[in-house]
Amino acid sequence: MQMRWLAVPVLMAIGSVAMAASCPPLLEGQLPKLRAKESIDLCQQFAGKPLVIVNTASFCGFAPQFKGLEALYQRYKGEGLEVIGVPSDDFKQEAKTGEETAKVCYVNYGVTFTMTEPQKVKGPDAVHLFKMLAQQAAAPKWNFYKYVVDRQGNLVASFSSLTKPDSPELIKAVEQALASKP
């Protein structure tokens, strides 16, 4: 009888290890969700999904790309695409408060994809997600750098601020990420 009770915690521990093993290193950790009390568990929410990760800034000249990113998300979300926007003041163009950032994203541009609270995206203080992206490509050199990641958590391609969300190159990378096997 006691052996059965011992088996449950052991099986639960094995299941946790298996889940942890299936989480790509890129998605380890959590980020605070924009204007919400909860955090985003990146692995739990995004493991096995193709992603477009972009560092944003509310007052950047590239901020109108929010509309294009939203259109990209709407076009492909039915196929599993997720977009993660990570506001950052690393280039001195982000709002001073999360409330102001949220207004720009949600009210001004109608963003429905996942947005985090502002984070560091370059240098030694960058959040884990962007440190991992920098290892696979390069750290963002400005706002609205875009990183396309496949279902296994591998970088497919990265794009500078100049690449618009509807560019053929970005669309091709997104479709490649969508075609990847989980």
Q: How far is it, in rounded angstroms, from Cα 141 to Cα 162?
A: 11
23 flagged as catalytic: no
For 26, other C-beta atoms within 10 Å of its C-beta total 26
Question: What distance in Å separates the CA atoms of residue 42 and residue 49, rounded to the nearest whole number?
Answer: 11
> With the CA atoms of 147, 148, 151 and 156 taken in that order, what torsion angle do they form, in degrees rounded to the nearest 10?
-100
Of 23, 43, 60, 105, the catalytic one is 60
Q: Where do the H-state alpha helices sit in the chain?
A: 2-22, 42-46, 65-76, 98-102, 128-136, 168-179
Which of the residues are catalytic?
Answer: 60
